[in-house]
A and B are shown apart, each in its own frame.
Chain A
Amino acid sequence: MTALLHISRAIDGMNMVLGRILPWAVIIAVLVSAGNALSRKFFQVSSNAWLEAQLYLFGVIFLLPAGYTLLKNGHVRVDILASKLPRRVQLWIEILGVVFLMFPAVLLIVWYGIPNFVASFESGETSPNAGGLARWPAKLLVPLGFGFLLLAGLSHLIKCVGFLMGRCPDPMQPAGSSEEEELMQELKAELTKADDEEGDKK
């Protein structure tokens, strides 16, 4: 178990690193997309390569962080009924879910995704649009993203079992605070500050 928990920690570490680097793709995509619109309007210049680049970045934004999102317990659940179940039952559902629901689907896409990428790479496939980009980087994103997800699933499985054995903390608690909570904290802090200043004046 200890060895497994080490593996789990290593996987989580890798996904955390991805979770720090990948967000920058968001602002890059924003700049590329706005740049496309502006250059088309003002310079009548439109490049298929740049139009496709923003879509590749979209792939980076949703595929590569799939494992990180799982780590942060970010994938949506319908937990209206399930949240009423005892904690241990929920953990068992989680374990069976990872093994029988998540692994088959993810493995299958990785399994078929690799030859799909290799074929594209070896044939030097490019986009059918004039001046378009090579296709293989986009096709690589699919098995890569699902590969990270597979690893995150493995780590999650180890932690669920570990928690049932009392060896590690509950993996289903969200690690960070949510965006909404942060907004609340911030607004509250600002409002109290404003009130205090008003009080000082009086």
Chain B
Amino acid sequence: MTAFLIENIAPIMFFSLIVLMLLGFPVAFSLAANGILFALVGMELDLLSPSLLQVLPQRVFGIMMNDVLLALPFFTFMGLLLERSGMAEDLLETVGQLFGPIRGGLAFAVIAVGALLAATTGVVSASVISMGLISLPIMLRYGYDRSVATGVIAASGTLSQIIPPSLTLIILADQLGRPVGDMYQGAIIPGLVLTGAYMLYVAFIALLRPRKAPSLPTEVMAGRTDKGRSGARSLLVAFIIGSMATWIGMSLLVDPEATRGARIVLSLSGWSLVVFAIACVDRLLSLNLLSQIAQRTIFAMVPPLTLIFLVLGTIFIGVATPTEGGAMGALGALVLALAKQRLNLARFQQAMEATMRLTSFAIFILVGSTVFSLTFRAVNGDLWVEHLLLNLPGGEMGFLIFVSVFVFIAAFFLDFFELAFIVIPLIGPVAETFGIDMVWFGVLIAVNMQTSFMHPPFGLALFYLRSVAPARDYADKVTGQSIARVTTGQIYRGSIPFICIQLAMVILVLMLPEMVTHYKAAHVHDVDPGSVEINVGGADYGSGSPFD
């Protein structure tokens, strides 16, 4: 019995963790208790030193001194403030008006706004709730297929998992030990390709099944010019002028050796500034060269673009650490919310309180997991996991496929923080042993987790959409028609095509690591530490490594 226990203490510890977690007691404490229980067992069996647990307060102190994790409250706070600033409403309304006359236009608008919200608020629940309350009734009113409408909203809401400056990517970068900036650069292309794939799917529906995604009747479009034009033309002209000015400005002013990320962010912000200037001049001088809708679109789009610049730009250019970028973003969001007069003291306090609560429970999972892994490592549990995973059939690819499937399934039971703080520390070192690029690995995990957000029946995006979609038949307020309720089955069916797109994306990231690993190009100008020779004459003091 004792011999069996000694032999198999790591697997026993792992499975007892699963049982304890399923009891439904807060995970942070189950993790910690499991760690302590097996530390005592290990001490009893003379496997472990009795002083093992004395380091625990110091470990908690170490978590406190982790600069990257401080980004967690900052980005959460920024998202909560923006949620209340009315940005989502403004964007959905104007972009919806703009795309409305095209077939499938509202669906395109939802995807575009979803991507923009993803890059600013970064909260799945907030995006889905806003889009479900604002866009879904309009889509139902004009006869969108219910599954198409709900699927687009749920999927677009999950984009915030993968499009930088996502909180997911920060935590993954921290747990995998890679710079947050690299993780952002690596995730940009998969995020944009995914957005494009959603749009392609909607275009496909609009072309082949026009009845499922109709255009809006022209008479309902507010803000039309007297001649009945949509007003999109003047917006297009403003955009083209903006692009040209940005291109000229970029080639004159910006160092051609700047990294790709820095150039993307700089052009984006330059472009939005030029377009914003055009709109301001037009309004102040009452030139009315721009249509009303063009002006409103510009005024709705520039604040989020500026915020993205503030956050991503300062990180990519190297002005700020990711944490400081988050602080700047939170400050920007605060100014924006104040400028829109959407903030009062009570709401401000609510946002801070919610931020604090989220930070506390998230970091406590990490504290619990730290206690767990202290013992788990001491009983060589990490070697056990490594041994299991290294011997999977198919070597590196087999491991990656296993991880994808595992994360996909585990995400049904665990939320993001649990996955990041419990599962990633177990599989990360194995990926490292395989020599897998850790940023690529992180992005792959992020896409997998994103999928699980929209997977029936537990997907969070579906859950929030269900809670805001009409559960009863209702009379539409504009047309007075009776509109049937949205069934849960319709929501589930709607997610299926997007899950397929998502799986295709996982395979694409697996087959084409270049989509992610291009971030390394940003480092070619860095000095290779291996090639540096330092010749210092004189006394040879202090040249030894601190680790010798």
Contacts and interface: CB of A to CB of B under 8 A. Distances in A.
B64 A138 contact: yes
Nearest to A117: B57
A97 B25 contact: yes
Contact of B356 (A65, A109, A138): A65
A31 B74 CA distance: 10
Contact of A33 (B22, B28, B70): B70
Contacts of A55: 64-67, 70
Interface string B346-368: 00011011111101111111001
Contacts of A69: 357, 360-361, 364
B474 interface: no
Main SS class of interface, A: helix
Contact of B70 (A58, A106, A113, A199): A58
Interface stretch (A1-9, A75-83, A162-170): A75-83
B328 A62 contact: no
A33 B67 CA distance: 10
A101 B30 contact: yes
Interface string A90-120: 1001100100111011101100110011000
Tell me which of B324, B328, B362 has the highest count of chain A C-beta atoms within 10 A of its own C-beta.
B324
B80 A179 contact: yes
Contacts of A93: 23-25
Contacts, number: 224
Interface stretch (B122-130, B183-191, B201-209, B262-270): B122-130
Interface residues of B, number: 84
B353 A76 contact: no
B70 A74 contact: no
B84 A41 contact: no
A27 B363 CA distance: 18
A139 interface: yes
B29 interface: yes
Nearest to A113: B57
A72 B357 contact: yes
Contacts of A80: 22, 412-413, 458
Contacts of A142: 57, 60-61, 64
Contact of A112 (B20, B56, B324, B330): B56
B363 A62 contact: yes
Interface in A2-57: 19, 22-27, 29-34, 36-37, 41, 51, 54-56
Tell me which of B314, B319, B353, B477 has the highest count of chain A C-beta atoms within 10 A of its own C-beta.
B353
A183 B323 CA distance: 26
Given A19-B353, A105-B371, A116-B58, A78 B28 contact: no
Given A24-B352, A36-B324, A94-B25, A138 B357 contact: no
B2 interface: no
A74 B25 contact: no
A184 B24 contact: no
B320 interface: yes
A92 B464 CA distance: 30
A82 B26 CA distance: 11
Nearest to A75: B26
Interface of A: 19, 22-27, 29-34, 36-37, 41, 51, 54-56, 58-59, 61-63, 65-66, 68-70, 72, 74-83, 85, 90, 93-94, 97, 100-102, 104-106, 108-109, 112-113, 116-117, 138-139, 141-143, 179-180, 182-184, 186-188, 190-191, 195, 198-199
3 nearest interchain CB pairs? A82-B24, A33-B327, A75-B26
